Structure 1
Amino acid sequence: MQNWKKLTALALGVCLSLGVMAGCGSDKAATTGGQKALTIGDTTFNSSNEEPDVNPHNTYAGWACIRYGIGETLIKYSDNMEIQPWLATKWENTDELTWKFTLRDDVTFSSGRKLDAAAVKECLDHLIENNKRAAQDLKIASIEANGQELTIRTTEPKPALLNYLGDPYGCIIDVQAGFENGIVAGTGPYIVEDMKTDDHLTLKKNEKYWGGTPKLDKLTIRTITDGNTLSNALQSGEVQAAYGMAYESYPLFRNDKYTISQISTSRCFFGKMNFDPDSVCADPAVRQAISMGIDKENFVAKLLDGNGFPANGVFPAGPAFGGDKVKAEKFDPEGAKKVLEAAGWVDTDGDGIREKNGKKLVVKWLTYPSRQELPLLAESVQATLKDIGMEIDVNNTADHNQIVKDPKAWDVYAMANVQAPTGDPEYWFTVFATSNATKNQGKYKNEKLDALEAQLSREFDPAKRAQLALEMQQVILDDHAFVFCSFLKMSMISKANVKNYTSHACDYYQVTADLDVE
């Protein structure tokens, strides 16, 4: 296990210090029928964010499953992103293809079924049958169950298997209990009572939770996608805690009535380029000019109000595979103009927008509103790229997941993503950048990158993995296949009497048995 602690300790190089501003308000604990209750407003629990329910085998719904205390994984991550035991007490990599896990013997699902290796096997078998990303990540050839001992064999060496098993899709659920209406039976401190997609999730405490009795009797997650509405709800007491609050609202909560828990993360605002032949981004000069024409410093300072830091590469700066070790384009409007002119993009009619072969330089910029600052990024980009002769046609829509599937409907897709939530660099490349990546909607392809990923996927040495990650970042930056704008300081805000509502570097564990109101 020590090698894997070293591997994950290298991850990100993010400054993981937790900054908390705690208040001492006089709010009383909310009660419903004599029970202790809490309501959390969340901008991200919705179908637009690929979280239509809490079934971890469905798209990215595992994030809701693990965030809200419903499901747990075999391993978890410490505040420093080191791998720790959770449902598994220990493990051994007996050879390059074989992993043996010992499971806790005191865990039951909310369905009442005991957690044993047979149940975990059923769950993982169902996962890889139904989740393309998980199947591609895990490369599982076979699973054997014997009491509390689980043996996983992979089709190829899989050094990052542990990291992937901590992904939210790795939540261990009772498959036999079913998936009706997207609700599952997990091992966490809370049990789903009711759920309506894009509206709410109601949970009750798991009286038989193996990790101790949860402090709350009832917990409600309310989907509130509008930042102003969420701010008003927290101020009025309609909700007592909030996730995804717009940064512009933070000054309203910097007082002794509220607590702000904040931590630097690898969550990044970035844009992926469309390599479809009909897209203007198929032209390397356009991609390079876009990368040179975004004022990241100004965006972070003014529009994020300092709640982040400019991005360079895929990952934040740090001692391992950090973004400070790669070379990316700097904000250089004059240089961007020269790049475009050299490629034949000139403004011949004097309207301020360049043309080439009779085609206007119009960039279709796709983004979405559930991450409150993405529309602000679009406005910032619209202004700075106009100065170099580009028209940015912004489509800010909750329907982005469907639109991005149409290569004719967008040129740049700007999104927010936690770049290394498993503490390992391979995750990001296999999701977004390799030829067969599950979210490579822009059809980017680089044979060198694919070859490096083939090496990374089999490399067990942490230092060599970090070096490969650096090389892979540089490949995509040289191609201007993506532009990385900013990393975020993730924050969760609550009334001062709410206790243990704490941000985590991987952005997973929001609700624990210790969450409480006083």
Structure 2
Amino acid sequence: MFRKCKLIFIACLSFFLLAACSTESAKDQARGKKEVNLLFNFATSSLDPNVDTSYVSLRAGITETLVHLNDEDLTIEPWLAKSWDSKDGQLWNFELREGVTFQNGKPMDGKAVKASLERAMKDSLAIKNALRIESIEADGNALTIKTEVPFPEFPSELVHPNTSIIDVKESDYINKPIGTGPFAVSKFIPGTAVDLIRYESYWDGAAKLERARFSFNEDANARSLALESGDADIVFRPEVESLENLEAKDGVKVESTSTFRVHQMTMNLERKALQDIHVRKAVDALIDRSSIAETILHGHAEVATGPFLSTFSFAPDYPKKANGMEAAKAFLDQAGYKKVDGVMQKDGKPLTFTLLTYSSRADLPLIAQVFQSDAGQLGIDVKIKQIEIPEEYMASNRDWDLTTYSNLTAPRGDAGYYLNATYHPKGALNFSGADDDRLTSLIDELNVTVGQEERSDLAEEIAMYVDEQVYNSFILHPNTLVAYDADKVKNWITSRSEYYMLTNELDVK
């Protein structure tokens, strides 16, 4: 009997040992997988690279553009195009890189690139206005592109993620665009994640990772917790308040990198109150930039005096402005507003603002709340409205006055992108409705100006004019914050342009 029990005991022990070994083996196998999970702050319901404003296809390594931005020296360099030239700034000759294939194995040649660019311009008015292409001719791996007018900075526009090259014959752009990048789409769950697999025939060498997941969560606290729990390996823009805890965790590395982004207060110039420059000046004076940078961003930001970082050659030395409650009240006095029974009003009508904000950038709703509180002390009623996709809402609706908005201003080291997009009547990001003849004329002049020094001087003049007219208010330049498991992740680079994330060099240890 004792011997029988002993045999049963040994059998059970062997079972548990085998189970334990099997579990450890599974863990070892999982640890050995060459894959990462990057958690991003913007969700998307579409991977269409030509219209998606979250630029997920480019960031996830699915697609590429003809021209690449060098993050270190802010110069443009070849990518899918290996060279380009123009004698007059209007007729451009591009030579495409040889041996590049789409993720379906088909060649990326001039004909395919022509079809992709034409499709992008057809489906995106913003890209059509930005590129200003009159015609495209393809011959083998050569492209001849004619712009509508002389456009010396045309190649830099081909850095934009919405100009990504795809095989347009594969028409499921939303769920599975076929690009030339190191990763192909395995599965897309709108609003949740895109699963990626290595494209073995990638032209610049197959990715070191076998698989990757580019997932979404607009809650900054949830992103931080995902890294702490091991559910994510790389987290883009973790919650600022969590940085100290993350830095204290073994193996976690936090990077805070200056970027080309500005948090701004976009003003709807079609609203009657904001057509008065004194009201715009009052809004600007109410923004306590230093306090916001320290309390909300915990110092991971530079106070903004204009749209461009102070280190850029085209950032003017702005004159000192009056700011604070008293300055704002004085500007409103000049606009004819008086505080009666605690309410700021003019001709018996109270001054009220509808302020849009969105949670995917966690600091923007907090900035909106600070502004609401400060405006309330002056008797201005500010109603905050949460929206999801700011570009879509502001472009389609005019029932708002102000928006806390974040924008890349010089992602190519040149002021032309932001000034055209934000202040030209045809600009893709001209949500304020700016339509100023002098301003438009200056931007048109910038577009045909050659030479960095000449362009910087003219861009500085434009930026100064924007400041004088108070077309939008600029709050701060936030750093890009990324936290990742440095014990696992290898070769991660925090891109200043925020364009390039999952690359063929990204690896695990």
Q: TM-score, normalization: structure 1? A: 0.88
Alpha-carbon separation, structure 1, partners of 2:365 and 2:271: 27
Match 1:512 to one of 490, 503, 508: 503
Aligned to 1:356: 346
Offset, 1:409:
2.2
Partner of 1:413: 403
One-letter identity of the residue aligned with 1:169: N
Equivalent residue number for residue 35 of structure 1: 33
2:48, 2:173 within 8 Å by CA — same for their partners in 1? no
Identity of aligned pairs, percent? 28
Q: Where does structure 1 differ by over 6 angstroms across 4 or more consecutive aligned residues? A: none
- 1:449 and 1:121 mapped to 2: Cα distance? 33
Q: Secondary structure at the match of 1:254?
A: helix
In structure 1, what is the equivalent of residue 381 of structure 2? 391
SS in 2 for 1:325: coil
Match of 2:254 among 250, 254, 260: 260
What stretches of structure 2 of length at least 5 have no aligned partner?
Answer: 1-25
Q: CA deviation at 1:394?
A: 1.4
Matched to 1:433, the amino acid is: Y
Instruction: Give the letter for the 1:294 counterpart.
Output: I
Q: 1:286 to 1:119 in 2, by over 3 A?
A: same
The secondary structure found in structure 2 opposite 1:305 is coil
Structure 1 CA distance, aligned partners of 2:36 and 2:162?
A: 26
Q: How does 1:13-32 map to 2 (within 5 A)?
A: none
Bigger mean CA deviation after superposition, 334-343 or 508-517: 334-343
Choose the corresponding residue for 1:365, options 355, 362, 370. Answer: 355
Spell out, residue by residue over 1:228-263, the C-alpha distance to the aligned partner (whole angstroms, 9 max, x if none): 111111111111111122212211211342122332
Measured in 2, the distance between the counterparts of 1:450 and 1:180 equals 35
User: Which residue of 2 is the match for residue 471 of structure 1?
Assistant: 461
User: Matches of 2:129 and 2:59 in 1, distance apart?
Assistant: 23
Q: Report the residue type matching 1:393 in the other structure.
A: K
Correspondence 1:75-154 to 2 at 5 A: 75-78=67-70, 79-154=72-147
Which has the larger displacement, 304-313 or 500-509?
500-509
Which residue in 1 is equivalent to 2:43? 45
Distance 1:449 1:59 in 2: 29
Give the 3-state SS of the residue equivalent to 1:233 in structure 2.
helix
2:23 corresponds to: none
Question: Counterpart of 2:20?
Answer: none
| Letter matched to residue 466 of structure 1 | S
In structure 2, C-alpha distance between the alignment counterparts of 1:476 and 1:64, rounded to whole Å: 32
1:58-457 equivalences in 2 (<5 Å): 58-61=51-54, 63-78=55-70, 79-255=72-248, 256-278=250-272, 280-322=273-315, 324-327=316-319, 329-349=321-341, 351=342, 353-398=343-388, 400-401=390-391, 403-405=393-395, 408-457=398-447
1:485 aligns with 2:472: no
In the alignment, which of 38, 48, 54 is matched to residue 55 of structure 1?
Answer: 48
What CA deviation, in whole Å up to 9, does each residue of 1:212-238 have, x standing for no partner? 121111111121111111111111111
Structure 1's unaligned 5+ residue stretches are 1-27, 47-51
Residues 453 and 489 of structure 1: CA distance in aligned 2, closer, same or farther (over 3 Å): same
CA distance in 2, matches of 1:213, 1:308: 37
Q: Tell me the CA shift for residue 150 of structure 1.
A: 1.6
In angstroms, what is the RMSD of aligned CA positions?
A: 2.0
Distance 2:259 2:330 in 1: 35
CA shift for structure 1 position 408: 5.0
- Once residues 424 and 29 of structure 1 are traced to their aligned partners in structure 2, the CA distance between those partners, rounded to angstroms, is 49
Structure 2 length-normalised TM: 0.90
Q: 1:118 to 1:489 in 2, by over 3 A?
A: same
Contact conserved, 1:30 with 1:38, CA < 8 A, in 2? no
**d(CA) in 2 for partners of 1:295 and 1:473?**
21
Q: Match for residue 24 of structure 1?
A: none
Q: Judging changes above 3 Å, is the alpha-carbon distance between structure 1 residues 331 and 257 closer, same or farther for their aligned structure 2 residues?
A: farther
Shift, 1:385, TM fit: 2.6
- Distance 1:467-1:89 versus aligned 2 partners, 3 A rule: same
* Counterparts in 2 of 1:249 and 1:400: CA distance versus 1, 3 Å: same
Which residue identity does 2:190 align to in structure 1? T
Q: Is the 8 A contact 2:338 2:346 kept in 1?
A: yes
